[in-house]
Structure 1
Amino acid sequence: MAQGQAQARSRATNKIALASLSAMVAETTTFPIDITKTRLQLHATARPVSAFQVATDIIRKQGVTGLYKGLSPALLRHLFYTPIRTVGYEQLRHAFISHDNHSLSLPSKALIGGISGVIAQVVASPADLVKVRMQADGRMVSQGLKPRYTGSLDALTKIINAEGFKGLWRGVFPNIQRAFLVNMGELACYDHAKHFVIHNQIASDNIYAHTLAAMMSGLTATTISCPADVVKTRMMNQVVNEDGSYKYRNSYDCLIKTVRFEGLRALWKGFFPTWARLGPWQFVFWVSYEKFRLIAGLPSF
């Protein structure tokens, strides 16, 4: 029995390590799209701005390295976020499956996917906050303004000094809402789509099945989560005013003000760069993760 427990711990450790490695590869590959999406969401004007214009402006004013502003906290975030949500999803999926039922319904998968995402996001929220602030800093530099932070550690220190330790979890509630929606669509859809593709013999359990499932889950997750992503980004980027107040009191206030001043379509600002990122991100992540698991002698996700 002790040997079985040791093997189970070893498998879980391997899954965590492989999920972290795959996530960092995917994050580095798609980060320029992510920073374009974040800058696009922070454009608080009714005048439409395209993702191409935003990306071109970043390169023109900051060079190619400007597209990687905030990469280090993004990688740090995925050391916690992705392993917790993916391995957590597997553990919950296994716990919910009975001996006479070898699969779960899509709603059940969506629920455990959302729960896994929430737990992971609470842990990783400080790194996510630093990433968003540093990405927004790049926009300030492009406008001729002095950046707030010189690096990830400086951002972390200044946030704690100015906003307290609790300030590291600013925007955690819209963050949790987004994480629930993203993982409800991402994990559940990938799992369900992959098994659908394999069961209907569209492809075997290989790169083709993984690619189809990843692209379908990316589109689903983007459509569901984009409004929460816009609110999350704006809540996390806001800082205290001189009078001690904030532009948005809470996520609901941010939602109302965004729709009132910019229209309903503003909730889907950054949709295409978000989708353009989630599709490649999931492709790189899932294909890498499944391949690493195969090499390590672990079963398919």
Structure 2
Amino acid sequence: MAQQQSQPRYKAVNKIALASLSAMVAETTTFPIDITKTRLQLHSISLLTTRPISAFQVAADIVRNEGGLQNLPAGPVYTPIRTVGYEQLRHAFTTDDNNSLSLPSKALIGGVSGVIAQVVASPADLVKVRMQADGQKVNQGLQPRYTGPLNALNKIIKTEGLKGLWRGVFPNIQRAFLVNMGELACYDHAKKFIIHNQIANDNIFAHTLASMMSGLSATTISCPADVVKTRMMNQAIGEDGKFRYRNSYDCVVKTVKFEGFRALWKGFFPTWARLGPWQFVFWVSYEKFRFVVGLPSF
């Protein structure tokens, strides 16, 4: 009996470890694009001019002035929680008579698992965004706020309190709900559709097609929330003792008012360029790792 009870726990630990490993591979591959996307989203609020700028210009500036496009990834914390959480919730709501959930049901449990994961990983995400944004200060000849991740963590706690680590948590979880609706639910549903309609077997071809679909849907749905999240998390107390944005709604209103409605999709192509390869690398790696250790397909 004890051995039977430990078996699901053992599988869950394996899934978490494999998801974390796959996330590290995907983050390492795509993180330069993530920095470019973040800088592009912050561009209009960080520079005195609002001249148009492309993702290629941003990337070139980072390489020229900072010597590289690497930084601190938060995916190895966030991704295992949301993927394993989604699978557990999917299993909990699936019965023997109905072994397939509807797309809206998958979207809901995908969003819920994303929210849970983002609340846990929000401090790591905050430090990542602050460190990415700091590079722009260097570009402008200013002194960066932080010397490294631990320094950023200590300064945030010292100046903003422990609650400061969850700065922007509400736009963060809004984005997490939307992006995981697109990523997890779409990948799961698309893969089953591809296999059921015999477009491909449960192999790398099916995983690639499903990951492409999930990347596009996740980007389209979540980009506005991602812009708001990035700006909310990056803002610090100004000289007047106030924040630029009071809340997510205020951020949306000011963004649309001063930059136009399209600004909510600022960084769309860098985001898509990151999510597409990230989805491919993560899902193909994760599915392959599961196969190697004897776990069933996601």
Q: Shorter-chain TM-score: which interval?
A: over 0.9
Unaligned 5+ runs, structure 1: none
Root mean square deviation of aligned Cα: 0.8
Q: How far 1:80 moved relative to its partner? A: 2.3
Cα distance in 2 between the residues matched to 1:4 and 1:188: 30
CA deviation vs aligned residue, 1:129-184 (integer Å, no higher than 9, x gap) = 00000000011101111100000000000000000000000000000000000000
1:156 equivalent in alignment to 2:153: yes
Structure 1 match to 2:55:
51
Letter in 2 for 1:236: M
The residue number in structure 1 matching 2:130 is 133
Q: CA deviation at 1:225?
A: 0.2
1:197 equivalenced with 2:201 (yes/no) = no
Q: CA deviation at 1:78?
A: 2.5
**4+ residue segments displaced more than 4 Å:** none
Q: With structure 2 as the length reference, what TM-score do the two structures score?
A: 0.97
* Residues 101-153 of structure 1, C-alpha deviations (whole Å, 9 max, x = no match): 01000000000000000000000000000000000001110111110000000
Shift of 1:81: 0.9
Q: What is the distance in 2 between the residues matched to 1:42 and 1:107?
A: 33
Aligned to 2:10: 10
Residue aligning to 1:210: 207
Counting only pairs closer than 5 Å after superposition, residues 1-301 of structure 1 correspond to structure 2 as: 1-44=1-44, 46-63=50-67, 65=68, 67-68=69-70, 70-71=71-72, 74=73, 77-301=74-298
Q: Secondary structure, in 3 states, of the residue corresponding to 2:236? A: coil
Structure 1 CA distance for aligned equivalents of residues 179 and 19 of structure 2: 17
**Distance (whole Å) between structure 1 residues aligned to residue 105 and residue 66 of structure 2:** 46
Structure 1 residue 243: deviation in Å? 2.5
Residues 157-212 of structure 1 deviation map (CA, whole Å, 9 limit, x = unaligned): 00000000000000000000000000001000000000000000110000000000
After superposition, the C-alpha distances for 1:22-64 in whole angstroms (9 at most, x for unaligned) are 001100100000000000000116432111111011111112x
Consecutive unaligned residues in structure 2, runs of 5 or more: none
Deviation at 1:280, TM superposition (A): 0.1
* Deviations 1:262-293 (CA, angstroms, capped at 9, x unpaired): 00010000000000000000100000000000
3-state secondary structure, aligned to 2:52: coil
Q: 2:16 and 2:66 mapped to 1: Cα distance?
A: 35
CA distance in 2, matches of 1:103, 1:161: 49
Alpha-carbon separation, structure 1, partners of 2:249 and 2:9: 42
CA distance in 2 between partners of 1:136 and 1:208 (Å):
37
Q: Which amino acid aligns with 1:143?
A: Q
TM-score normalised by the chain length of structure 1:
0.96
| Alpha-carbon separation, structure 1, partners of 2:137 and 2:205 | 42
Q: Which amino acid aligns with 1:51?
A: A
